[in-house]
Amino acid sequence: MFEETPQASQSSSLAGSSSGRVRMLTSALFDSLVLQGKGPIAVEFMSYGCAHCRAIEPILQRVAEMVKGKEKIFQVNVAVEPGLAESFEIQGTPTFVMFLNGQEAGRAEGAPPNVSSVLTAVTQPFE
Amino acid sequence: MIPSPTSPKQNKPVLLFDNECGVCRRIAAWVKKSAQLKSEEPSLIVRPIGDDPEALRALNPALDIWEAYATIHLVMPDGSMKRGGEAVAEVLRKLPPTRWLARSFSISIFGFRPFQALLNVGYFILADVRPLFGCESCGTPSLWVRSIKWLINLPKLVFGRQPRPSVTPHFTAISKAAHPK
């Protein structure tokens, strides 16, 4: 299930910058990297001002390292991309939306800030 | 999208505030007003933190956007930073109405600054109780704040008022005020 595709690997380097392994996406790249992306992809809809997102950030970086090569993880800042948040009916942050070959496969709202919860949230829809 | 602080060289201190927190917005508005009370030129610049980590690093390379949202930061004209209670003291020093009060924070007794220590504690408490004043972005309140909240809500529970529907823990509802379209 968790196969890294050359396309996903190549295109992730085009995404906007963020700290660590998780790349920040803008709406301009969302289509090509997520909706047209191959394989399992998790997108965290977040905001820098959200304390829960702050708590989950270092954990997400660790989880991204753990699933490296199996799954891509991206972030979308809802303050910068309100249109994307609205089109995916995001009610709050952090919300993880999981995509498999461009189709939504599941979502998780407000995962507790620990590795096992976040890992489960971003991998369970693909099992 | 909130405009980000982009000018790396300022000749005035820059106070960064959390625009997603209602309490912080109100305090920032008061600071902004007070900074311009006695002159046309404000004594400091008040700006929302924004959403651009690079713009913040342009103010000071050590300024991390997550950290900026967690604690009040004041970026000095020389690029140095003051945080928490020290930042509050410096802001009060810069404001004409509070300059007299701010002198007390510099009083030192054998190297210990008692009024600054009090201010540090006061800032810590204020930062912790923000969720009580409707700051949804401030996260899960700490245990002592939750106890106060529970006591405040106790009469409502005892006298039969319906408690508010619980929200998902570890989750912040998107605020329309903080993210206007």
Q: What is the pLDDT along chain A (127 residues), one digit of tens a residue?
A: 443 333 333 333 333 444 457 999 999 999 999 999 999 999 999 999 998 999 999 999 999 999 999 999 999 999 999 999 999 999 999 999 999 999 999 999 988 999 999 999 999 999 8
Distance in angstroms (rounded) separating the CA atoms of residues A29 and B73: 32
Residue A52 in contact with partner chain B when CB distance is under 8 A = yes
Contacts A–B by Cβ distance under 8 A: 88
- Please report, as a single letter, which amino acid is at residue B130: R
Note which residues in 49-108 of chain B have CB less than 8 A from chain A. Answer: 49, 51, 53-54, 65-66, 69-70
Question: pTM value?
Answer: 0.80
Distance in angstroms (rounded) separating the CA atoms of residues B102 and B31: 14
Q: How many domains does chain A have?
A: 1
A11 belongs to a structural domain: yes
Residue B81, H or E segment: strand B81-83
Counted residue by residue, chain B has a size of 181
- Both tokens of residue B23? 């309490």
B168 belongs to a structural domain: no
Instruction: Choose from A45, A52, A56, A80 for mutation: most chain B CBs within 10 A.
Output: A52
A41 belongs to a structural domain: yes
- Which residue in B122, B128, B15 sits closest to B72, CA to CA? B15
B24 belongs to a structural domain: yes
Contact B139 A51 (CB under 8 A): yes
Q: How many domains does chain B have?
A: 1
A108 belongs to a structural domain: yes
Counted residue by residue, chain A has a size of 127
Looking at residue A28, its pLDDT comes to: 93
Contact B179 A54 (CB under 8 A): no
Residue A94 in contact with partner chain B when CB distance is under 8 A = yes
φ and ψ at A105, to 5 degrees? Answer: -110, -10
Contact B179 A82 (CB under 8 A): yes
Instruction: Choose from B1, B130, B137 for mutation: most chain A CBs within 10 A.
Output: B137
Looking at residue A114, its pLDDT comes to: 95
B152 belongs to a structural domain: yes
Whole-number Cα distances in Å, B20 to A78, A83, B9:
12, 18, 26
0.85 surpassed by complex ipTM: no
Looking at residue A20, its pLDDT comes to: 54
Looking at residue A46, its pLDDT comes to: 95
**A119: Cα within 13 Å, side-chain hemisphere:** 10
> CATH number of the domain that A76 lies in?
3.40.30.10
What stretches in chain B show pLDDT beneath 70? 1-10, 134, 136, 160-169, 175-181
φ and ψ at A23, to 5 degrees? Answer: -90, 145
